[in-house]
């Protein structure tokens, strides 16, 4: 049987983690104080009481306002370095970190302060034996004009991130809305992924667009692809990764979606396990493996397969991949 220690000690790759979703109550309060921002709470318990949500919209309503405490380059550094220290302690060897520049630039923080703070933490974390890269996400409920401006701001910092993605509210915001930005990002040598959240009304259509018309290399969540066997064939054939986040799913959808993960494993699709917004959804990556393993009675072999899938579909060099697979 799979123990908590086993999921803890196993070398892991984290491919679905929003850095803003690692903002723990302690750091939130510390930054609020330092930056003189009134967040309406003064203790950790009070902050935790605000963490009540039962769908994506109610979660995002807690998540975005909290980011106000992030004001300066040093704040982004501390956010990322705190996460990477924790990752190193939990045997996470490689992380591809999502960040949402528009959630910060829209409130007056400069793009440069966001990306250089995060990047500096990544450089310093190399000493901890954790290897990390950044993936810039466009907020899909913002306009494509805003996405265009964001990509323009970002390209001078192209050496500090390896790919682009889409997150935030998917409803009525299909991947194709950002087809042009994805094309430009790909032409600039960047990798492509997109959230295709579970239980969204049009998510099968969104998955189809992303795979067939936008050349994405991974789907974040995306596990309800099991409803469409032809699309499953496509991801199996093209080694497209699907990054499932069990604890997150239990909040924004009523279920952990383990049946979907098991069905994808059985079909030999490259599904893997991650944590999404661990400070908000009750656990980091080892907790996510453990929750899935205990709820669905997974074997060690199945857990190892999920972990290998993450390294295989990561965007590290083939030389580095060979170490882990």
Contacts with ligand ES4, residue ranges (CB under 6 A): 18, 21, 56, 167-168, 195, 197, 248, 252, 276-277
* Residue 10 vs 137, nearer CB to ligand ES4: 137
Q: How far is the CB of 190 from ligand ES4 (least distance, A)?
A: 19
318 is in an annotated binding site: no
Judge contact between 201 and 171, C-beta under 8 A. Answer: yes
What are the φ/ψ torsions at residue 195 (nearest 5 degrees)?
A: -65, 135
Q: How many CB atoms lie within 10 A of CB 304?
A: 13
Per CB under 5 A, which of residues 239..298 are in contact with Zn ion?
Answer: 276
Residue 220 forms beta bridges with which residues? Answer: 195, 243
Choose the one of Zn ion, ligand ES4, none that binds residue 197, judging by a C-beta under 5 to 8 angstroms depending on kind.
ligand ES4
The dihedral of CA 44, 46, 49, 51: what is its sign? Answer: negative
Q: Which DSSP helix (H) or strand (E) runs through 221?
A: strand 218-221
* Residue 59 vs 289, nearer CB to ligand ES4: 59
Beta strands in 41-162 (DSSP E): 92-99, 131-139
Round to whole Å and give the CA distance between 247 and 268. Answer: 23
206 is in an annotated binding site: no
Q: How far is the CB of 234 from ligand ES4 (least distance, A)?
A: 23
Round to whole Å and give the CA distance between 305 and 307. Answer: 5
Q: How many CB atoms lie within 10 A of CB 118?
A: 25
287 is in an annotated binding site: no
End-to-end CA distance of the chain: 22
Closest residue to ligand ES4 using C-beta atoms: 167
Q: How far is the CB of 245 from Zn ion (least distance, A)?
A: 7
* Residue 138 vs 311, nearer CB to ligand ES4: 138
- 282 Rama class: left (phi>0) / alpha (psi -120 to 50) / beta: left
16 is in an annotated binding site: yes
Q: How far is the CB of 248 from ligand ES4 (least distance, A)?
A: 5
> If binding means CB under 5 A, how many residues of this protein chain bind Zn ion?
1
Asked if 20 is part of the footprint of Zn ion (rule: CB under 5 A), the reply reads no
Q: How far is the CB of 1 from ligand ES4 (least distance, A)?
A: 30
> Residues comprising the binding site for substrate?
277
> Residues comprising the binding site?
16, 18, 195, 276-277
Binding site for Zn ion (CB under 5 A): 276
């Amino acid at each position: 049987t799979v123990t908590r220690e086993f999921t803890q000690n196993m070398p892991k790759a984290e491919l679905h983690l929003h850095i803003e979703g690692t903002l723990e109550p302690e750091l939130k309060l510390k930054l609020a104080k330092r930056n003189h921002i009134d967040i309406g709470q003064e203790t950790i318990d009070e902050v935790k009481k605000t963490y009540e949500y039962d769908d994506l919209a109610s979660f995002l309503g807690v998540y975005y306002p909290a980011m106000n405490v992030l004001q300066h380059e040093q704040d982004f550094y501390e956010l990322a370095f705190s996460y990477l220290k924790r990752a190193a302690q939990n045997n996470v060897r490689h992380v591809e970190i999502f960040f949402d520049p528009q959630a910060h630039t829209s409130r007056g923080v400069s793009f440069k302060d966001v990306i250089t703070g995060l990047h500096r933490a990544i450089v310093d974390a190399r000493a901890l034996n954790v290897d990390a890269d950044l993936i810039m996400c466009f907020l899909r409920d913002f306009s494509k004009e805003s996405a265009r401006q964001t990509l323009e701001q970002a390209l001078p910092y192209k050496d500090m991130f390896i790919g682009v993605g889409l997150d935030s509210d998917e409803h009525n915001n299909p991947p194709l809305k950002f087809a042009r930005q994805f094309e430009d990002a790909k032409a600039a040598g960047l990798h492509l992924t997109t959230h295709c959240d579970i239980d969204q009304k049009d998510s099968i259509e969104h998955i189809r667009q992303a795979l067939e018309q936008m050349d994405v290399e991974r789907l974040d969540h995306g596990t309800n692809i099991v409803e469409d066997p032809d699309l499953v064939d496509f991801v199996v054939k093209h080694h497209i990764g699907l990054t499932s986040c069990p604890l997150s799913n239990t909040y924004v959808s009523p279920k952990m979606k383990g049946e979907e993960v098991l069905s994808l494993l059985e079909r030999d699709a490259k599904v893997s396990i991650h944590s999404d917004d661990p400070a908000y959804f009750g656990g980091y990556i080892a907790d996510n493996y453990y929750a899935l393993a205990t709820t669905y009675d997974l074997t060690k072999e199945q857990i190892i397969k999920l972990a290998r899938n993450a390294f295989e579909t990561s965007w590290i060099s083939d030389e580095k991949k060979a170490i882990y697979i």
